[in-house]
Chain A
Amino acid sequence: MTTQDYLKTISKSEKPFAIYKSNKGFDLYTNFSKKIILTNKNIHNFINKISKHKPRRKKTDLFIGFFGYEILNNLIGVKIKKQKGLKFYKGIFYKPEIKIELSNKLNYKPTKFYKTNKIFSINLNKNSYTNIFNKFKKKIKSGETYQIKICTKYKNKSQIDALDFFCRLTKSNMAPEAFMIKDKDYSIISCSPENLITKKNNFISTKPIAGTLKKSNKLNKSKALNFFKKNIKETKEHNMIVDMERSDLSKICRPGSVKIIKKKIVEEYKDLYHFVTLIGGKLKKKVSSLEIIKAMMPGGSVVGCPKISTLNLLNTQEKEKRNIYTGSFGYIKFNGDMRFNIIIRSILNFKNQSEVSVASGVVIDSNAKHEFNENYIKAKALIDLYK
């Protein structure tokens, strides 16, 4: 079967499935034999037990799914007070029995009609955004945080064909950590560019993004690099994230093994350029999957720095649940290898409620208006899908 046929078949079958960007194209996972809905209680047991499954040397010897933001906070001992918003699952993982390799070109025509709404409401207007922004600036001056990210949500009521959305998104915005999940009562679509964990044998790496630049006709990749290097604010923001990720890796890696592999490079996307660094290390002996997840999640670049005190500040100011946003999607293999992204640039559709979430950072020299607008640039590629 061709990629197009597979997509048609999976859509008709109405079976739950997940698609994740691979090196060559995309991987489709389906025929789920197990579905584990995570809670603050069962998450430890779930992660610890994965490596105890008998490997059958199959490509499907793995669990694939996502951790939401809240469950990851709880995992590292950060409590979140009651927040309003969609009451979505804290995390779900599936055991697939089929994995199909798809090409990079995802062509799919919807067969049914969906009531898609083009109008969005925003949960934080410019004034309330500026309000939170100024509070955080004071906290930066007093040294309680060095950098903090405020999340904005665009919401509406819509029925969506998640597969159609995802295929169109990959055409407009191909991203190395893109993924989607479709199950009976929800779907997630994301063009995440950010890898949080790639672990193979005893090697682990992470690739934080800090710095975004909107594309224009006058700009090419080398000019973008020049911009980031000369822009003191972007450089400082990036430096902080790099040191924080080095520290997170150092918790689980052998002494002296944590190294910067690619320092401050520019990656190009449809609407924007990103400033990226790749950091890796060799894992200590006997580090468990749970320890790796606790050391690295939630990903620092979408929280701020230092992680714990900044999470505590965020959780008192953000009145609405982040849900999947800034959680992680990916898989853990039975042999302990894993790959996880950071869920950003994402749509969550749950019981026909859509949420598009984005965030941008506050550092000492940030400007509220600029950051508020940067949030819109990031959301645009997703909002455009509703047309």
Chain B
Amino acid sequence: MIYIIDHKDSFTHNVVHQFENFDNIQCDNFNKININKLKKAKVIVFSPGPGSPKDYSISSRIYKEFKGKKKIIGICLGFQLILHCEKGKIIQQNKIYHGYQSKVKVTSNNSLFKKNQKFTVGRYHSLKLQEPFVSKNFEITMRCDISNTAMAIENNKEKIYGFQFHPESFLTENGNLLIKKILSA
């Protein structure tokens, strides 16, 4: 079972709908977490959502407790939440991407995806990761083809993955493929 933690977003059920292709899904609001479901889950997903990671201390606590014990996936806000917990700084960007389609490129040799492969993806974010970012076992594996902004992180040792873009958006081509690969990793 995959447990999706919703941050009151209007895209969360697209995430649910997408993950339902691969496994049983349970989804609850971040302030209505069911401990039993959380313990039973094989994978924890942090959903997109409004605001910034520091607004969601409950989700941060969940991340820290289950890091290394379960596979963890973060999308958009969820991606930023993982970085925030790993001492990364999340800042406002000059250009704001809401409903934007752009190309991202795989920039690492250690990624589950082939280096230099490009994906067309949908973006909804006003915040981004401030770099340089260094954290043990984590690597930035995809970047925006134009602005170079960090677009995906992978920690293949502890099975932690994050996307700044939205694999569930209709603007993302091959979104199911991205999720499938990470779920089977």
Contact = CB atoms under 8 A, between A and B. Distances in A.
Interface of A is mostly: helix
Contacts of A235: 99
Contacts of B12: 247
B150 interface: no
10 contacts: A142-B126, A143-B50, A143-B52, A143-B92, A143-B127, A147-B98, A239-B100, A247-B17, A310-B50, A364-B98
A255 B14 contact: no
Interface of A: 140-147, 235-240, 242-244, 246-251, 253, 255-256, 258, 260, 300, 305-310, 363-364
B173 to A, nearest CB: 13
Interface of B: 8-14, 16-17, 20-21, 49-52, 77, 92, 96, 98-101, 122, 124-127, 166, 169-171
A251 B15 CA distance: 11
A147 B122 CA distance: 16
B98 A236 contact: yes
Nearest to B14: A247
A99 to B, nearest CB: 36
A22 B9 CA distance: 35
B85 to A, nearest CB: 18
Contacts of A251: 13
Given A140-B126, A142-B126, A240-B124, A308 B8 contact: yes
Contacts of A237: 99
Given A239-B99, A256-B21, A306-B8, A144 B13 contact: no
Contacts of A236: 98-100
Interface of B is mostly: mixed
A238 to B, nearest CB: 7
Contacts of A309: 8, 50-51
A101 to B, nearest CB: 38
A300 B99 contact: no
A143 B169 CA distance: 18
A140 B50 CA distance: 9
Contacts of B166: 243
B76 to A, nearest CB: 10
B96 A238 contact: no
Given A239-B122, A240-B99, A247-B13, A143 B51 contact: yes
B6 to A, nearest CB: 10
B21 A246 contact: no
Given A143-B51, A143-B125, A144-B50, 11 more contacts: A141-B96, A142-B51, A243-B122, A253-B17, A258-B17, A305-B10, A307-B10, A308-B10, A309-B51, A364-B98, A364-B126
Contact of A306 (B49, B126, B169, B170): B49
B137 to A, nearest CB: 27
A310 B8 CA distance: 11
Given A250-B16, A256-B20, A260-B170, A306 B11 contact: yes
Nearest to B19: A255
